Chains A and B, each alone.
Chain A
């Protein structure tokens, strides 16, 4: 028997300042405490003797009943069930308190006796904490699993034991993996990633070694994005994450793994990021004067960068240190830029209108760069803003370049255009004025009877050259009018047949002169009236026809065909075909004929003449009319021009045959008003060439007197040709005065060497009907005059004449025969006539008549007792309302201008000369009675 008290072992144990108990263990597992330390008795709240007594024989009275089996097993096997030598058990103190203790057992055999040395640790506090941790752990696990329910797959692995504890999810590869090895599953799962890159990544991240290493380092969460193929074959990005945790029950390392679809995020984040990066070199949030770069890579911006040096920092400092120093422009511009970027400004502006944009220019790297800051609100109340910064240098530079180029081009064009207009305007006058003199004097010189044949030939050539030069000037002006958009098409009703007749009259005479056969045909039906610009239409048709004549030699044919090819609700398309058997053109040349100054054979221009602008002008006018022109031609065979023009239909149907309107040239009464003697003489000559006689007035006043007289004679001028530039009164003021004095009875044509676009409105308002270029040409007079007169007649048509039936006429006539004839004439229109044989009797008749009884007085001038002038003055002086208004018309053999003037002065309205033409008398009465 061991004398324990004296033994070395006892001494050794007693010397240890520990919380321990020494026991003797029987073979049957019963144990007897033989010694316990002071610390132990303190823990157990009792004495050594008490403890030894209670514990002797292995009563296990102080051990919690639930823990007794573990302890019993240990004392029988000298080792725990888990194969360790320590146990956590609950012990009852002498005072009856339960405490948690950890006991470490060492079994020692000495001298045939088995001792158990038990080392105690009070772990009550630890246990309490652990209990709390346990419940937290359980809650967290439940939560994680719940959260993971919307995941593709969730697992729970025990890493320590290398076993899968649970697995749920929508997309699992093997359902019954619970209890299998984690490492096997790893090997199996890795095959489901199609990319080698991701297989490698998966194994690296989630190998047992790596997980444990991470856990050791305190990194509990491992997550990675992988490209995966799902069990159903779908490919998608997944986020594979594992949360590591130690199982507090057994210290096992647990892994909670989730796998979720990451496609949307991948697209959202990666693609959005990429898209943004393309547009913005920086995306930053700004809050409370603090910025943080969300997207942006300073490396991307190679030059001119103002990318913040720090990924996050103070916004004002950034402005101050990185933006302000590089801003460029005037002091004011710099100040404005800084002001615009200030936090307060951003706050104000962005709440007014989103996005708020600021464009700045920076001078860095010796170049100007343009930056654009765009601000958005993320949270207004939090004053949390988003800033998108982009570099607009490239765009700005391109824009600036384009703007500069455009501006330069525009300036140049404007200057050129102004210069051209000014040049053309002055050229038109400067050249046309002397041309006027040349052509005028030339034609006057040709009238000289005593010139030699040689001189005559020279004079003719001078005239032709001058006319050619003038044509050229006119064409150039016309072209410039078209090009500058100053040419405006009229939209007026016109007589289509009259237009064709005028064309035919001109073209057929030219053809006859040259020995060509001319034929004009209308296929089908065309209306009498259309709405459009007949002058321009005529111009283009005559131009093409003139070319046809020019390029066809004697004996050839020129055909003009007109056809209405379509009629819509309010429009008609008319096709004009002009065919000739002339020299034709090669196919190569056809596309060029509408270019300016082209003639196929340049030597041909000398043979055929022409300005080279005719076809371009023609084409331009047709295009302005939205029409088309095409050409077919064969060299040596002929040419065919087709013009299609769409005109508006007119409701007007030809009621009156326009033959009635046709001008009888010999009857035309024309007054030329021009201060320049040569011009007057030339105009008179040209008019005589076409059979029109004319009067001449050298100034406005003279003209007005002449017009008054003619008007009183009821022989008003049909046409007044008025020069625009006259020293005292210009043509337009003269026109205005003429309209005041004699009304609207004459057509007024302004003659000018200027181009008239600038004054046309004023002129039309003053009463001008038409403009003609100086000098006059016989060829254009016919068409221009007839047009002017027709226009006048059309506008006067509405004035319906008064009915003469039953009108009372007072006739003063001393000659019985004249009176009889006059009565006969008047009775033909059923007028009633009272006859006074002299002025006095006539006045008496008027005085006796009721007011308004006489509709007109026809007054002879030379009468015995009282002449017509006196009688008129007397009537006009009578104190009755009709005295001033009754029309008094002189009918007299006194036909001189002075006589007419005297009549007018006496108060007569008109002055007809004997013998009176009945029709003229009727017309006069109709007009005045109305």
Chain B
């Protein structure tokens, strides 16, 4: 079950997220669920697999905006870091880098 407490345990800045959603918990959770379920995660994973960095950046950037809005800090922070690397067009082992991000996302998504 996804609760404020469990989110906090994961390191989500629920306070900030709630503030952005005008302290409407229901709305926040609704958005949260949508955000976690976003197919952009899969798009990003696929693009990285194919080493299509441009597409990967598009997906990462879009996700970054959403995650930032929802204050999903534990996913947002590493993703933001990756986004900037992709923006700079640097060649990194993005697949490995994406692995822990996806893991946290999947854990949270399992709670939904």
Contact = CB atoms under 8 A, between A and B. Distances in A.
Interface in B64-106: 64-66, 68-71, 80, 83
B38 interface: yes
**Size bracket of the B interface:** 20 to 34
A817 B29 CA distance: 11
Contacts of B27: 824
Nearest to A899: B87
A355 to B, nearest CB: 93
Interface in A808-858: 814-818, 820-821, 824-825, 828
Contacts of A824: 21-22, 24, 27
A893 B38 CA distance: 17
**Size bracket of the A interface:** 20 to 34
A914 B65 contact: yes
B58 interface: yes
A390 to B, nearest CB: 96
A915 B61 contact: no
A862 interface: yes
Given A825-B20, A893-B83, A862 B69 contact: no
Nearest to A814: B62
Contact of A893 (B16, B22, B24, B65): B65
Given A817-B31, A817-B35, A893-B83, A915 B71 contact: yes
Contacts of A818: 65-66, 69
B69 to A, nearest CB: 4
A918 interface: yes
Contacts of B22: 824-825, 828, 918
A41 to B, nearest CB: 172
A918 B19 contact: yes
Contacts of A860: 65
B50 interface: no
26 contacts: A815-B65, A817-B34, A817-B38, A817-B69, A817-B70, A818-B65, A821-B20, A824-B21, A824-B22, A824-B27, A825-B21, A825-B22, A828-B22, A892-B65, A893-B61, A893-B68, A914-B64, A914-B68, A915-B16, A915-B20, A915-B68, A915-B69, A916-B20, A917-B20, A918-B20, A918-B22
B62 A821 contact: no
Nearest to A863: B62
A824 to B, nearest CB: 6
Interface centre among A820, A860, A918 (most CB of B within 10 A): A820
A821 B30 CA distance: 10
A297 to B, nearest CB: 109
Would you list the 8 A-B pairs with minimal beta carbon distance, nearest first?
A: A915-B68, A893-B65, A915-B69, A914-B65, A893-B64, A828-B22, A817-B66, A914-B68
Contact of B34 (A816, A893, A894, A915): A816
Contacts of A916: 20, 69
Contacts of B34: 816-817, 820
Contacts of B61: 862, 893-894
Contacts of A914: 64-65, 68-69
A805 B35 CA distance: 29
Nearest to A813: B65
Contacts of B19: 917-918
A821 B68 contact: no
A820 B66 CA distance: 10
Interface of B: 16, 19-22, 24, 27, 31, 34-35, 38, 58, 61-62, 64-66, 68-71, 80, 83
Contacts of A816: 34
Given A821-B69, A916-B69, A918-B19, 14 more contacts: A815-B65, A817-B38, A818-B66, A820-B31, A821-B21, A824-B21, A824-B24, A824-B27, A825-B22, A862-B58, A893-B65, A915-B20, A915-B71, A917-B20
A894 B66 CA distance: 13
Contacts of A892: 65
Contacts of A828: 22
B81 to A, nearest CB: 13
A342 B35 CA distance: 114
A860 B62 CA distance: 10
B46 to A, nearest CB: 17
A916 B71 CA distance: 10
A892 B66 CA distance: 10
Interface string A907-919: 0000000111110
Contacts of B69: 817-818, 821, 914-916
A512 to B, nearest CB: 34
Contacts of B20: 821, 825, 915-918
Interface centre among B27, B61, B70 (most CB of A within 10 A): B61
B24 A815 contact: no
A49 B94 CA distance: 199
B71 A821 contact: no
Nearest to B64: A893
A332 B80 CA distance: 96
A828 B23 CA distance: 11
Interface string A886-926: 00000011100000000000000000001111100000000
B101 to A, nearest CB: 16
A400 B66 CA distance: 92
Contacts of A917: 19-20
Contacts of B83: 893
A815 B35 CA distance: 10
A892 B83 CA distance: 13
Interface string A113-133: 000000000000000000000
B66 A815 contact: yes
Interface centre among B61, B64, B68, B69 (most CB of A within 10 A): B69
Contact of A815 (B21, B62, B80): B62
Contacts of A820: 31, 34
B82 to A, nearest CB: 12
A240 B58 CA distance: 138
A825 B22 CA distance: 7
Interface centre among A820, A821, A828 (most CB of B within 10 A): A821
A656 B34 CA distance: 42
Contacts of B16: 915
B26 to A, nearest CB: 11
Given A815-B66, A893-B68, A915-B71, A821 B31 contact: yes
A586 to B, nearest CB: 63
A617 B31 CA distance: 65
A818 B71 CA distance: 12
A862 B60 CA distance: 11
A894 B80 CA distance: 10
Interface string A259-272: 00000000000000
A480 B31 CA distance: 68
Contacts of B71: 915
Contacts of B64: 893, 914
A79 B18 CA distance: 169
Nearest to A816: B34
B64 to A, nearest CB: 5
B65 to A, nearest CB: 4
Interface in A102-160: none
A894 B71 CA distance: 17
Nearest to A828: B22
A751 B91 CA distance: 46
A918 B28 CA distance: 14
A821 B21 CA distance: 6
Contacts of A821: 20-21, 31, 69-70
Nearest to B67: A915
A817 B37 CA distance: 11
